[in-house]
A and B are shown apart, each in its own frame.
Chain A
Amino acid sequence: MMVYYGYRDSSGEYYVVVDSEKCDGCGKCVQQCPQNALELGTIMVDLEDKLVAAVTEEHRRKIKYTCSPCKPETSAAPCVLACEKKALTCTWNPEK
């Protein structure tokens, strides 16, 4: 499952994307996020619980502000670099 957390407005669109199949819940991204915006959350896969990285409820609605310090270099964001499974990506597409 691909989970998109982010926003889209007149400046462009920004998403933190978690691939819950690749994510093994190691929690390295959670430790590396300078804004403490990530946590491990439980999802259900084939009736079994699985821990995966997620943006916290608190930050889901303010990603625009929370993620802005890391946004210019999406490929070098600390959370992205921390992920060995390449399960977490950030995308930023400015409005043309």
Chain B
Amino acid sequence: MSNDGSKDKVEYWRWREYRKTVSSKSWRDAKIVTAGVDVGSVSSKAIIMADGKIYSYSIMRTGSNSPDSARKVLDWAMEGTGLSLDDIKYVVGTGYGRVNVPMANKAVTEIACHAKGANYIWGPTVRTILDVGGQDIKAIRCDENGRVTSFLMNDKCAAGTGRGMEVFADLLKVPVEEIGEVSLKVDVEPDPVSCTCVVFAKTEAVGLLRKGWPKERVLAAYTRAMAVRMSKLLERVGCEKDFVVTGGQSKNVGIVTRIENIIGLKRLPMPNYEENGLDPMVAGAIGAALFAKALYEKSQAA
């Protein structure tokens, strides 16, 4: 009984944690090795750069303790590479837990890092960035150098963010990484749910399920509501192209497709991140590692 029982206990909210070494060259040949560590509310990301190019990276769940999460995620990015912390000249910490990154030489706000990272991933044409993280949503405008010109933070809660999606994955028994696809399997787009708070939206969703709505339709209604809300944030900062989405929800096609439809603008396509490490989810860590290189060079020049 217990065996069958445990097999049934699928953790639908769980997403893939992974690490990768993307460079074929040895870090030992590089002049400067730097790192960026982004401790978010839900996921922690680390990027190691050799001479300003991505060498390896890792993404994992943030634990209850920010310093521990920071250490673990950076250790994981170094795993199997022969790197040790002493080889890394400069570390920049960013994200929600940025002040709690023990090995960081400096903390930089995630806003600056995301803009810098998006500029690195997609190039100088990026002007508008929607960052949908674990617990909040940010709309950022930047110039051709990835410098922030304005940014807007969302109001109160976690709806529509990574954490909200995890809650819905569990409720509807749909793996969190498939929510986007599933939500698009509706013939007619339903009205959005009226609540934009995760707790209330969940209650509303339970009501819809009882009425006999299929999962796809419930997810479509929820995703739609979140997309409407994010579009309003974008409207406020002014959505100029090129437009990109960063953060974990950049991988949620349900959210992204709906935002594109509402604002009438397509985002730049997802890079082939499995190959090159340019994962929009790690944009903040990429920016942090780039700042680390610039700050190290500046400290050497002084």
Instruction: Return A41 CB to nearest CB of chain B, in Å.
Output: 8
Report, as a range, how many residues of chain A touch the other chain.
10 to 19
User: B63-71, B75-83, B150-158, B219-227: which lies at the A interface?
Assistant: B150-158
Q: A64 and B156 in contact (CB under 8 A), knowing A43-B112, A47-B294?
A: yes
Bound CA–CA A6/B106 (angstroms): 28
Is there a chain A Cβ closer than 8 Å to B31's Cβ? no
Most chain B CB within 10 A, of A1, A3, A47, A64, is at: A1
What residues of B have a CB within 8 angstroms of the CB of A47 in the complex? 291, 294-295, 298
User: Which A1-47 residues have C-beta < 8 A from chain B?
Assistant: 1-9, 13, 15, 43-44, 47
Q: Are B291 and A6 in contact (CB under 8 A)?
A: no
Instruction: Return B155 CB to nearest CB of chain A, in Å.
Output: 3
Is there a chain B Cβ closer than 8 Å to A61's Cβ? yes
Bound CA–CA A15/B155 (angstroms): 10
User: Which A39-77 residues have C-beta < 8 A from chain B?
Assistant: 43-44, 47, 60-64
What residues of A have a CB within 8 angstroms of the CB of B261 in the complex? none
Q: Are A4 and B295 in contact (CB under 8 A)?
A: no
Report, as a range, how many residues of chain B touch the other chain.
20 to 34
Nearest-neighbor residue (CB-CB) of B139 within chain A: A4
Q: Are A7 and B156 in contact (CB under 8 A)?
A: yes
Q: Are B155 and A63 in contact (CB under 8 A)?
A: yes
Q: Are A4 and B152 in contact (CB under 8 A)?
A: yes
Instruction: Return B269 CB to nearest CB of chain A, in Å.
Output: 28
Q: Are A1 and B150 in contact (CB under 8 A)?
A: yes
Main secondary structure of the interface of B (DSSP, over half): mixed
Bound CA–CA A45/B291 (angstroms): 11
What residues of A have a CB within 8 angstroms of the CB of B155 in the complex? 6-9, 61, 63-64
Q: Are A60 and B232 in contact (CB under 8 A)?
A: no
Main secondary structure of the interface of A (DSSP, over half): strand
Bound CA–CA A1/B295 (angstroms): 21
Bound CA–CA A8/B155 (angstroms): 7
Bound CA–CA A44/B237 (angstroms): 21
Q: Which of B151, B291, B298 meets A4, CB within 8 Å?
A: B151
Q: Mark B267-302, 1 if CB is under 8 A from A, else 0.
A: 000000000000000000000000100110010000
Q: A60 and B153 in contact (CB under 8 A), knowing A43-B112, A47-B294?
A: yes
Bound CA–CA A21/B298 (angstroms): 22
What residues of B have a CB within 8 angstroms of the CB of A62 in the complex? 156
Q: 10 closest pairs, A vs B, by CB?
A: A7-B155, A2-B150, A4-B152, A61-B156, A1-B148, A44-B108, A47-B298, A8-B232, A47-B294, A44-B112
Residues of chain B whose beta carbon lies under 8 Å from any beta carbon of chain A = 108-109, 112, 148-157, 232-233, 236-237, 291, 294-295, 298
29 A-B contact pairs sorted by A residue (CB < 8 Å): A1-B149, A2-B150, A2-B151, A3-B150, A3-B151, A4-B150, A4-B151, A4-B153, A4-B237, A6-B155, A7-B155, A7-B156, A8-B155, A8-B233, A8-B236, A9-B155, A15-B152, A15-B236, A43-B109, A43-B112, A44-B109, A44-B112, A44-B291, A47-B295, A60-B153, A61-B156, A61-B157, A62-B156, A64-B156
